[in-house]
Amino acid sequence: MKKKIIFLSVAMLSLLGVSCSEDYLDTIPTASVDSGAAFASTKNISAAINGVYRAMVVRYLGSQGHFGYPAMMIMLDVLGEDLVFGNSSNNWHFGEGRWISHRSDQGNLAQLPYEMYYRMIGNANLIIANIDGAAGPQEDRDRLKGEALALRGFSYFNLVQLYGKRYDAAAKPNAQLGVPLVLEPTTEGLPRNTVEEVYAQINKDLTEAVALLPSARAAKSHINKEVANGLLARVALVQQNWAAAATYAAAARQGFPLMSAAQYLDGFSDVGNPEWMWGFDHLEDQSEFFGAYHSYISSNFNSSVNRQTPKAINSLLYNKIPSTDVRAKMWLKAPTAATAVTPPGGVRVPYMNQKFRLPPNPATSTMGDIPYMRAAEMYLIQAEALANQGKDAEAAKVLFDLVSVRDPAYVMSTKTGADLLEEIYFNRRIELWGEGHRFLDLKRLNQPLNRNGANHNTAVAVIFDVPAGDPMWEFLIPRREINSNAAIVQNPL
């Protein structure tokens, strides 16, 4: 697969200049690429960078349900215990919910991230290798190189969390197998690097990116200095580098005020929200219709998935949310025709999602924007990191700064130690529901999957318990990679 991905990367560069048109998805021979022209100027490389971002939001595997990174966001939450299928009438992503797809070397969930992230890495490598020789202002070269480094670091961070074992700070260096580090354009199949080596490269890429990137950018679809700091905060949290996580998270959220309660009720589909740090800013003339993120998670987009099997929240989790908290309104415990926003003819289920909702006429707003990173996450990272350093009062204050905006009745926590951390985890679960964090949170915290006692449909959630550290927490390397790369080895079955 690696060879195939790298070939796709080269072919893709000829398309990057038209990444904002339907021609982006055309297929052309690799031989037609004029590499000299592709990297001749910062203007051309800007088009190449746009194409790498675009690679996050296209269909993979020929499947409408595998719409790049947004599909990963949904499926990683489906793998957890907090996103619930309202019934079993429509079976999209049931294989993921049953913990089958990522544990088959031919499963869609095993293949999608491997193909997508290595495609992004291949293109980022080409940009990094050629940017210094491109004609144009130095500030443009710096910005473009910073974005390419950040995208490469982002890609490897996702890959190593999925295909490797969890990072354990107490076991440093983490000698367990991660993923192959491909750092320059090549068609050679490479062996898997260790988890420690992959994280070292991720931190190197992101640190260099922060030094190169400005805060100013053309659109929130692109990574700037603050987003790169946010990525470093995520990485430090996974590595249990608490001091660094708190520092990076505090720096990342600067300039991104928390949204008001009224804005929280707007539907989570507009990248213009002041709290959104990074996200997909969709264009209606490039609609994916039934492959888009909101086609699978929106409460009101008129797709068969949303009509027949709406998403819901774990009932045990929801019942802990105070009624004074605006986040309690993101789901309906007992929906009625008067209270629930649904597609025409859509069914209603207990605890159903209302968080992700398109504007009143979704027929003309088919995709909606998608949140990749929000300031609220940075508050939660900072609070968790401070609490893990024993700085309970500081952690409680950061948590209060977030939660008091969501719930005017919230009183600053006086909890300490494990109890304070549990309160932070609870707020993380309800704040980031549907945004793709839960599976990876369980894995990094070395916690088990536990779906017992909640509203899970037994026809879908056939697995209710997975112990922490079980081999099932690792995605299998795709069969196509195993067959084409003699240097790679598979994860335990």
SS (H, E, C) 130-194: HHHHCECCHHHHHHHHHHHHHHHHHHHHHHHHHHCCCCCHHHCCCCCECCCCCCCCCCCCCCCCE
Q: For the chain, which domains are there?
A: 2-245+463-484 (1.25.40.390)
Distance CA 114, CA 319 (A): 37
Q: pLDDT exceeding 70 applies to what percent of the chain?
A: 90
Whole-Å CA distances, 195 to 166, 178, 227, 375, 416: 8, 4, 23, 28, 32
How long a stretch of residues is the chain?
493
Asked if residue 27 has pLDDT above 70, the reply is: no
Which amino acid makes up residue 354?
A: Q
Tell me the mean pLDDT in the region 136-162: 98
Distance CA 317, CA 327 (A): 12
Distance CA 221, CA 369 (A): 10
What's the pLDDT band for 416 if we cut at 50, 70, 90?
very high
218 token code pair:
């053309």
- For residue 166, the 8-state DSSP code is P
Predicted TM-score of the model (pTM) = 0.92
What mean pLDDT, rounded, does the chain reach? 91
The pLDDT of residue 136: 97
The answer to whether the CB of 138 falls within 8 A of the CB of 162 is: no
454 token code pair:
């909640």
How does pLDDT run across 442-457, given as a tens digit for each residue? 999 999 999 999 999 9
418 token code pair:
């494990």
Which amino acid makes up residue 177?
A: L
Sign of CA dihedral 240, 241, 244, 246: positive
Give residues with Cβ within 8 angstroms of 342, minimum separation 6: 299, 300, 306, 307, 310, 348
How does pLDDT run across 95-121, given as a tens digit for each residue? 999 999 999 999 999 999 999 999 999
